[in-house]
Chain A
């Protein structure tokens, strides 16, 4: 064996040790097992997919949060609308009592009129300046406070959001559905107008008709609330599924990308020892030759 070869072998071994030491050190200092694609080509493809899912999940989570806010506000408004309808029904029942004086009925009619304005206010509920019953025309009030009717043109478009992969949900109830129950029943403003007129003119048949119409409106608003509640349920379920998924994905990602610290540090210490030993051995082996001993 030549002298030069010994040095070369030693250097090659030392370099190998050093590289592996540097690798370990990098893993410990970054806490990551995969820093470039070549560290684990299969792992990285999975990791990138998981990261994408994580990001998409976050976006859907934000969509759900925002949608829930929207729907809760809608539900509150629907609750108030229901109260208005109920109060109108109570007033109709009260006004239908034949013993009442015309003056009393006129007072009741006045309250019915104010209920109308209240309904307009409820219909113009907004979140952050967006009218929630305005369809996609969120920038203008769906009900005109001056005429106390739906503002033309009525926008009946749905506001849709993606809340999970391929799952789109509409979050809004449009003004037309709020004021107009399905079927032949007139819209809420006409019903309240009729009731008010009937009360003023003591038209008992008219009052009775209004009672029926108000029942239909109560049913309609309740149905709308039910519809919203079902969606809220679904969203909450999806949200909790995302939470669980987030943990699972994070866990999986960590298993692929992260370093097992205990093992990494043990490795590092071991490699350090090997490297030191190699240096020490090299220092001893390389020096002596016959040159040192011949005189």
Chain B
């Protein structure tokens, strides 16, 4: 026979468990906007029943339920959705890093604009045309010098800005690597805490959430693979082929990316194929820097302008009879400048093709103006000087447009992954509220049971056996 107070215990289990469920609802509600928070649920099960013996029977006719028990606090999370989310997040990181850097360049080259190189080149060739009309005019000569200086300055500026963009990418790579290593350290710490909680048989849901947020962040920087090496709740994180966080040994590796773009973990080569670090390395070493990058192309153009102008210019004669003068100095976009001779005197500008044709001979000026349309080999292209630059501008346009579009597409995919993840892990206020009502009512009912049992006990204790008193 069940004890007198048996029912109180059953009711109590209800009160306690429903309260626990209500607390979980409360926890969910308050974390509805917490980034990375996963909805939690109290799993309930009927407690182990006890046999219920009859008066004349040692073995009971049935089993008596002993109430409810909270079996676990489940964290609603789908690791396949996480996998998808992190892979997409790495792609978004890659393309948005590129799109960001490129959109800056897209703006700084100022095409089509009045300070762009196209305009400056046109002005320069035009100034030679003007000089061909009045080769003996100091004003026309001044125009050529000025246009030459503006062109050189234009090359210097664009080169400086490209170099600045490249340095910025470099700085961001450094900061990104540092951040990844910090995050890895934090994951390792959480790993240890989680293992401790798991060891005592509990579910460290919130710690896992925090750890997942950190892993999500790492995934934005580089491609990661997450594995759970043991049953202790720890995870290992690999970047490429190398473990960054080792869940079996509780060690953290150091990710590094060198000036050539090669990635290593603890000095062992690995590959970063995605994430913002990949994007930034591409920008730094291939798109802006590198043998075929924008800076190299601009340098090729600057060298071609300097060489073709100088060769032609040196063949001519200045108003002062000088010959063999270079118009430009420098062989790169950053160092291009107008030669000292021309800076010193505009009379050194060689408009005439022979000394005998001074002062009004302008055949050399005509030839120099015609350089604009001379098809030559520049780098690997056969085109005009302007044409080469136009190709470069078009390439910047295509690159920027493509990176921007890819970033947008990947962002869309990421949003879809986020939506799928939310579908599993996100908190819906309506759902929580209806749960709240449910648990509250159950709590009330269990409490009412206590009252009922109390009244029953009152009957037993206060009123039983009072006959004849």
Please classify how large the interface on chain A is, using the bins under 10, 10 to 19, 20 to 34, 35 or more. 35 or more
Q: Are A1 and B428 in contact (CB under 8 A)?
A: yes
Q: Are A290 and B430 in contact (CB under 8 A)?
A: yes
Least distance between B82 CB and chain A CB atoms (Å): 16
Please classify how large the interface on chain B is, using the bins under 10, 10 to 19, 20 to 34, 35 or more. 35 or more
Q: Are B106 and A38 in contact (CB under 8 A)?
A: yes
A137 within 8 A of B: yes
Q: Are B429 and A290 in contact (CB under 8 A)?
A: yes
Q: Which residue of B136, B352, B397 is within 8 Å of A44 (Cβ)?
A: B397
B164 within 8 A of A: no
Q: Are B106 and A36 in contact (CB under 8 A)?
A: yes
Q: Which residue of A34, A37, A66, A166 is within 8 Å of B133 (Cβ)?
A: A66
Stretch touching chain B among A4-12, A73-81, A182-190, A201-209: A4-12
For A168, the closest partner residue in chain B by CB is B366
Q: Which residue of B32, B354, B389, B418 is within 8 Å of A3 (Cβ)?
A: B32
A4 to B433, CA, bound (A): 15
Q: Are A37 and B109 in contact (CB under 8 A)?
A: yes
Least distance between B81 CB and chain A CB atoms (Å): 13
Q: Are B394 and A44 in contact (CB under 8 A)?
A: yes
B144 within 8 A of A: no
Residues B186-211 near A (CB distance < 8 A): none
Specify which chain B residues have a CB less than 8 angstroms from the CB of A291 in the assembled complex. Answer: 429, 433
Least distance between B220 CB and chain A CB atoms (Å): 17
Secondary structure class of chain B's binding surface, majority of residues: helix
Secondary structure class of chain A's binding surface, majority of residues: helix
B443 within 8 A of A: no
A63 to B129, CA, bound (A): 7
A60 to B132, CA, bound (A): 11
Chain B residues in contact with chain A, CB under 8 A?
Answer: 32-33, 39, 102-103, 106-107, 109, 111-112, 118-119, 121-123, 125-126, 129-130, 132-133, 136, 352, 354, 356-363, 366, 369-370, 372-373, 386-387, 389-391, 393-398, 400-401, 404, 415, 418-419, 422-423, 425-430, 433-434, 436-437
Closest 7 CB pairs of A and B: A2-B426, A37-B397, A41-B397, A290-B433, A38-B400, A55-B122, A59-B129
Chain A residues in contact with chain B, CB under 8 A?
Answer: 1-5, 8-9, 12, 34, 36-42, 44-45, 47-49, 51-52, 55-56, 58-60, 62-63, 66, 130, 134-139, 155, 157, 159-162, 165-166, 168, 257, 289-291, 294
5 A–B contact pairs at CB < 8 A? A3-B429, A38-B103, A56-B125, A137-B359, A168-B366
